[in-house]
Amino acid sequence: MKIYTDQRLLRTGLVGGTISRHSGNMRELACQQIAFDKLGIAPDHILHFHQVHSDTIIPIASTQQAQKYLSAALADADAWMFSPCIAGWGAAIVTADCVPLFVWDDTGTYAALAHCGWRGVVKGLPEKTARALLTLNPKLHLNAWLGPHIQACCFEVQEDVAAQFPPECIIRHENKIFIDLNIEIKRQLTEAGIPAKRIQAPYYCTCTDKENFFSWRRDHEKNLLLSFLYKP
């Protein structure tokens, strides 16, 4: 199984990352089940929500709360926050160009996983996710990793979308407009208090790299990649 991840995350003892398309279309729950089985993770301890491009963050602080979300209908939200992480529990999101954003502290005690499409970014979800963790504990040393998503090379938009972003992340080239989501997400995370050197955004473009990723922009098919965060 091919998983894109950040060694800094793994060093805290947390497990997580974005699984390549070789493991199948994660819109299918059966594919997710197989992947989690291979990882030795019980799929029924992985939380899911109904992704709606919002700035809603669900905090999970106890096994009881986690159980509640498992048994209820899927909530509308776009970020999970573990405060603290619970052994044997985790969360998953699905993407096909949107940004899977991981935020965690140096001890692997607090962590968040957010689904950041451009709408969520405009609504400030990256900043709100980091702030939510720092509000719980202002002394946290947070880190962030942006998983594979559509990069500025491919994220062409029209004026109406560009108008919602600061000028720094807009690239105009041959009468086309592109957005660099990395720049805006990094800006939001540093604004919230994460030092820039603690934010990693490797250049994996879902739209360009057809071998490893699904991309809605490229394929217009309902294939999804899975990102997960889990505390063993």
Query: Contact residues for Zn ion (CB under 5 A)?
Result: 151, 153-154, 205, 207-208
Closest contact distance (angstroms) between CB of 66 and Zn ion is: 36
Nearer to Zn ion, 213 or 228 (CB): 213
Nearer to Zn ion, 93 or 205 (CB): 205
Distance CA 155, CA 144 (A): 22
Cα-Cα end-to-end distance for the chain: 18
Nearer to Zn ion, 54 or 215 (CB): 215
Which of 170-208 are b and which e, b meaning 16 or more Cβ less than 10 Å from the residue's Cβ? bbeeeeebbbbbbbbbbbbbbebebeeebbebeebbbbb
Closest contact distance (angstroms) between CB of 181 and Zn ion is: 12
Closest contact distance (angstroms) between CB of 100 and Zn ion is: 16
Nearer to Zn ion, 136 or 154 (CB): 154
Distance CA 113, CA 51 (A): 12
Nearer to Zn ion, 49 or 216 (CB): 216
What tokens were used for 223?
A: 């294939």
- Biggest alpha carbon–alpha carbon distance for the chain: 54
Nearer to Zn ion, 49 or 204 (CB): 204
Contacts of 212 (CB under 8 A, 6+ apart): 2, 20, 21, 22, 148, 204
Distance CA 99, CA 147 (A): 6
Closest contact distance (angstroms) between CB of 152 and Zn ion is: 8
Tell me the CA distances in angstroms from 112 to 28, 180, 219, 223, 232, one per residue in order: 24, 22, 29, 24, 15
Closest contact distance (angstroms) between CB of 218 and Zn ion is: 9
Closest contact distance (angstroms) between CB of 223 and Zn ion is: 17
Distance CA 154, CA 77 (A): 26
